Amino acid sequence: MRPRAHTLPLVLLFVAALTAGSCHAAQPPLAYLSLGDSLAVGVGSSDPPERGYAPLYEARLERETGREVNLVQLGVSGETSESFIGSYPDPDESQLARAEAFLQRNPGALVTLSLGGNDLLQAPPRRRREAVERFGENLGRILHTLRRASDPPPRITVLLLYSPNPESPADGWISRMNAEILNRATRHGVAVANTPQSFRGREREYLRPGDIHPTDAGHRAIARSLARAHRIPTGTDAG
């Protein structure tokens, strides 16, 4: 009968292993919210629902974490920081309001934000300085609202603006916009994706001819920049 004395501990160890495995498998899906302008929508790619940077980043997250990732895209082509906050007939329908509601339902979600290009494009040359300053103020308000939307707060990554033509006089204004992004990101404790570094010297490959939007290769580069900017949570991470 003595050998049976070891049977119960072995059974308990086996059950514990099964339980641990089932707990790992039961990890909830990772919520990923893509916000911003036409880049977030996937404009420029040959198949935005599949080859825009957001679905590419979603697929990368799933590969590297082993977890299901649920992507929700709220981006709007032509969005500025002003319209993002609420320049709509109904402010409750603004992208910021919808993002806040989503984050309240999904605490600790991953968020990517592409914003600022249209602020600069739509500003007359004599008002670009004002546009940069206003963008910085708006971005600060946006990040503050998103960070306070849930507990734990969302894990946010903001994209820096790349320059379609680094030799253009407009490149200086893009640098000023990026300085505002870095400043506000630091203040609010969010990550920054260095897309300009990825695009520099590869503009012909990464941008559509005569267009500011990325090619499929450009969207892949943005997805890689996002992965480098923020530690990808593994299956053992909470939330």
- Predicted confidence pLDDT, tens digits, the chain (239 residues): 444 444 444 444 444 444 444 444 568 899 999 999 999 999 999 999 999 999 999 999 999 999 999 999 999 999 999 999 986 566 678 999 999 999 999 999 999 999 999 999 999 999 999 999 999 999 999 999 999 999 999 999 999 999 998 888 888 999 999 999 999 999 999 999 999 999 999 999 999 998 999 999 999 999 999 999 965 443 333 33
Q: In what order do the strands lie in the sheet with 30-36?
A: 69-73, 30-36, 110-114, 155-159, 191-193
Amino acid in the structure at residue 202: R
* Residue 55 to residues 1, 45, 127, Cα–Cα distance (Å): 60, 11, 35
The pLDDT value given to residue 235: 35
The pLDDT value given to residue 237: 32
The pLDDT value given to residue 25: 52
The pLDDT value given to residue 74: 97
Reported pTM: 0.84
Alpha-carbon distance 105 to 86, whole Å?
Answer: 21
Phi, psi of 77 (to 5 degrees): -60, 135
Give the helix ranges, DSSP H, for the chain: 7-25, 38-41, 48-51, 53-65, 81-85, 95-105, 117-121, 128-147, 171-188, 195-199, 203-206, 216-229
DSSP conformational letter for 93: G
Which residue segments constitute the domains of the chain, with CATH numbers given?
29-229 (3.40.50.1110)
